Chain A
């Protein structure tokens, strides 16, 4: 179902709905930047960037609190219905997922601080780089689908999550191989394993955001079959 293009009779309500959508977009931007910086800090072992990313997480948490408060206040004062109600409810869900993605970025940054050296060893670099590119694309696509209320794009995001899971599994095996080859790799590889898991979780949250976008657009929940896609586990 297409979204109503007509404006609400009460213009202050319309303004609040627009503001809430803007807050979600702003938080999405903050979280995308956090993931970009965290992965960059990991790949380049850029410790100052990692520390700055960790420090910025508080702002993301604060943004989630503001979105929650705004949504609760709108439910209490406006008694939203239909697409407005779905927009407000999903904004709470999306803000929660974004906050968790922010935490993942913080965890990756913290891990990167534990890895010594001038940059990531070249043999590790490519696999991690590939995964970060895919994750960022997934997150952006999910946020776009939500902002545009595009259910077809949301389905595409959900369907591509298995690619990330497959990549995670492959990276897991690769890192295990390096550890078996040379025990001196164990410390770095263990940190990378945790980072890869965090990134894979970002993909799950992106899927949740896409599901919220689908619900927002259609008023229906994606089938459990699609939901199950992102629950795949690492197979060793």
Chain B
């Protein structure tokens, strides 16, 4: 039933609490990444390694560049006029800004979930099947069904919607819509899942369900999450990076960042003091 099992059954064990990040393989590697929006520089020389099968959280005040950097990873900034990205971001050693690279294919490999749930105005089934169909990953209805069911199961939504797969996705609750968007994002079997404040529009229970889901998904995906909630970063991630005024100030094991950060700016921010 689960057609993804083979692909994801790799030898790498997910990063557990207490396990050293340095022992873990690197999935994404960013070096000296700068972003300009016209004349304004939004990101300054960001270099960071994103570990495989772990959750990496980006935290920082509004306008610090965390979302800008996240959007560099699947080249979402390409769609913004005047945006210029320099430096290198490599996914499995391959430069994502290489001219020969197909951006559509990249976005299938690097899925994204946004702040507000944004299901297509289509059925639940079509929302999930859409990606695999346009990427030619499914050849017939049976295969599409298999992908839809396994993706909804992975997103923890299947049991709640199995009797109404052909009803509109927009009819679901906010939390369910967000899980539908997660199911849609993982349906194309991405290697990396980017999440831009995925819980900020959700109530605490729906947030807890998504956080539980993130924890399960990290067994198979490399997850990068931008969050305004430090508590959320502390709860869901194994690695945390703190951004301030377009610069990466500090990155490291989540437990260390939240108990004993090395930089005063990080400490001031996470303790709610003005940096």
Contacts and interface: CB of A to CB of B under 8 A. Distances in A.
B270 interface: yes
B274 A220 contact: no
A2 B270 CA distance: 15
Interface string A77-98: 0011111111000000000000
A152 to B, nearest CB: 18
Interface in B259-275: 259-262, 264, 267-268, 270-275
Contacts of B261: 82
Interface string A195-219: 0000000000000000000000011
Contacts of A6: 268, 273-275
B266 to A, nearest CB: 8
A86 B268 CA distance: 14
B252 to A, nearest CB: 12
Given A79-B231, A81-B230, A13 B259 contact: no
A7 interface: yes
A82 B259 contact: yes
B258 interface: yes
A10 B274 CA distance: 10
Given A1-B262, A219-B259, A82 B272 contact: no
Interface in A104-161: none
B231 A8 contact: no
A9 interface: yes
A28 B273 CA distance: 28
Interface size on B, as a range, is: 10 to 19
Interface in A1-29: 1-2, 4, 6-10, 13
Contacts of A10: 272
Interface size on A, as a range, is: 20 to 34
Contacts of A8: 271-273
A204 B248 CA distance: 43
Nearest to B275: A6
Contacts of A2: 264
Given A1-B260, A219-B259, A219-B260, A83 B272 contact: no
Interface in B54-90: none
B274 to A, nearest CB: 6
A149 B264 CA distance: 16
Nearest to A2: B264
Given A4-B267, A79-B231, A81-B230, A86 B272 contact: no
30 contacts: A1-B260, A1-B264, A1-B267, A4-B268, A4-B271, A4-B273, A6-B273, A7-B273, A7-B274, A8-B272, A8-B273, A9-B272, A79-B231, A81-B234, A81-B259, A81-B270, A81-B271, A82-B258, A82-B259, A82-B260, A82-B261, A82-B267, A82-B270, A82-B271, A83-B267, A85-B258, A85-B259, A86-B259, A86-B260, A219-B260
Interface of A: 1-2, 4, 6-10, 13, 79-86, 218-220
Interface of B: 230-231, 234, 258-262, 264, 267-268, 270-275
